[in-house]
Amino acid sequence: MIEGAELAAAYHTQRQGGDFYDFFRVSPTRVLFGLLDLAGRVEEARGVLSTAQQVFRSLSSELLANEEVNEADAMTQIAVQLNRAILAAAQGIHPCPGFAGCYNQEVGTICYFNAGHIPGLLRDDIGITELPATGLPLGLFSHATSDAPTVALEPGAALLLVSRGVVEGKCGNEEFGLERVSRGLSEFSSNSAQQLCASVLDQVQQFMCARPTHNDVSALVLVRAAAAKAVMSGQP
Domain boundaries, the chain: 5-226
pLDDT of residue 35: 95
Distances (CA, A) of 18 to 35, 50, 228, 234: 10, 11, 37, 46
Average pLDDT over residues 27-37: 96
Tell me the whole-structure pTM to 2 decimals: 0.91
The mean per-residue pLDDT over the stretch 10-15 comes to 74
For 178, other C-beta atoms within 10 Å of its C-beta total: 15
Fold for 5-226, please state it: Phosphatase 2c; domain 1 (3.60.40)
Residue 216 has pLDDT above 50, yes or no: yes
**Average pLDDT, integer, range 129-148:** 96
Q: How far does the chain reach from its first CA to its final CA, in angstroms?
A: 25
Mean pLDDT for the stretch of residues 80-91: 95
Contact 139, 95 (CB under 8 A): yes
Rounded to whole angstroms, the Cα distance separating 15 from 25 reads 26
- Return the pLDDT at 173: 87
